[in-house]
């Protein structure tokens, strides 16, 4: 893995919108949030342009992202919003030479496409963490905002998750396992299958989360992954938050049944309970860094290196 530099007060933060647009007040909110942290937000003046799907035309979204990647005076690329659109930029990214200076990419949801590309093509460590539109609207609790700040600025060299639950015998039999974590949004990861940037989970934990997908769709996406070999020699699945997706005319979903089916079917460990995804709590998950999963007396501890240095 390639380490990123801890943030310092006064650092420039390059802001990009590779997927859906936001409203102008949300751009202002993102700027205010970064200023509150005593950082220098660099937001292109025309970052948002009316478009029927995205924050801007593909070429302009890529141009803003390329400028952020190649800027020599910043170390962080923070995404405004997820939505849809990042995967359309991958063929253009593939034409770039690997940058000499690694950057820290921050975002969730649609940004999973970029996390996967940067990890697999350039060896970067990235951070699955709240988007700027959410932070700018004050939708992250003070407790979790502080946790994110400590990871980015460096007092904390890693993060611990203590609420994981093993869903099958393979998971319950683990005592200590050293690995790393890849993944993110399930439906976005499905779009990588069969492409040059297909998610690679061999000898790694695969983290998955999603929002608004019904049980049958989650099952279908997992089956697609199985048939393309994603789970072969994978160290295990770590399930984050799955929200929404209620069955028509009901207030319930089929997630529990779906995950039981897969924990029974797969010959790899399956854990549930990572506090990350689209729910109210969105704890940061370092991707493509070292991690250790330990289990004793039925309690699971997942410790993940932040990937930062300095």
Mind telling me the catalytic residues?
Answer: 109, 209, 278
Distance CA 47, CA 16 (A): 7
Residue 224 tokens read as 């697609």
- Decide the pairing of beta strands 299-305 and 158-161: antiparallel
Sign of torsion over alpha carbons 301, 304, 309, 310? negative
The partner residues of 290 in beta bridges, in order of sequence, read: 180
Distance CA 278, CA 250 (A): 21
Q: Three-state SS for 79? A: strand
Residue 161 tokens read as 């998750």
As a three-state string, the secondary structure of 256-307 is: HHHHHHHHHHCCCCEEECCCCCCCCCCCCEEECCEEEEEEECCEEEEEEECC
Q: At what angle do helices 255-265 and 215-227 cross, to 10 degrees?
A: 20
């Amino acid at each position: 893995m390639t380490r990123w530099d801890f943030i310092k007060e006064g650092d420039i933060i390059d802001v990009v919108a590779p997927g859906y647009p936001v409203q102008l007040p949300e751009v202002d909110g993102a700027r205010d949030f970064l200023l509150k942290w005593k950082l220098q937000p660099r937001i292109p003046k025309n970052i948002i342009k009316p478009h029927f799907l995205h924050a801007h035309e593909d070429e302009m979204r890529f141009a803003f992202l390329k400028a952020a990647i190649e800027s020599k005076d910043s170390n962080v690329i923070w995404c405004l919003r997820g939505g849809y659109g990042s995967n359309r930029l991958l063929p253009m990214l593939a034409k770039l030479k690997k940058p000499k200076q690694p950057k820290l990419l921050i975002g969730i949801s649609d940004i999973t496409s970029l996390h996967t590309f940067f990890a697999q093509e350039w060896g970067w460590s990235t951070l699955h963490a709240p988007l700027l539109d959410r932070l700018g609207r004050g939708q992250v609790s003070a407790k979790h905002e502080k946790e994110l700040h400590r990871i980015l600025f460096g007092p904390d060299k890693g993060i611990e998750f203590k609420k994981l639950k093993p869903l099958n015998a393979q998971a319950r039999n683990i005592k200590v396992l050293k690995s790393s974590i890849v993944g993110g949004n399930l439906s976005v990861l499905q779009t990588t299958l069969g492409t040059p940037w297909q998610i690679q989970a061999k000898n790694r934990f695969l983290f998955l989360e999603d929002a608004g997908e019904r049980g049958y769709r989650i099952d279908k996406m997992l089956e697609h992954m199985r048939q393309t070999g994603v789970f072969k020699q994978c160290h295990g699945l770590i399930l984050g938050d799955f929200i929404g997706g209620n069955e028509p005319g009901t207030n319930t979903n089929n997630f529990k049944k779906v995950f039981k089916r897969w924990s029974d079917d797969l010959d790899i460990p399956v854990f549930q309970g990572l506090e990350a995804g689209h729910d109210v709590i969105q704890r940061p998950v370092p991707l493509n860094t070292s991690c250790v999963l330990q289990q004793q007396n039925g309690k699971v501890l997942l410790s993940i290196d932040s990937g930062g240095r300095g």
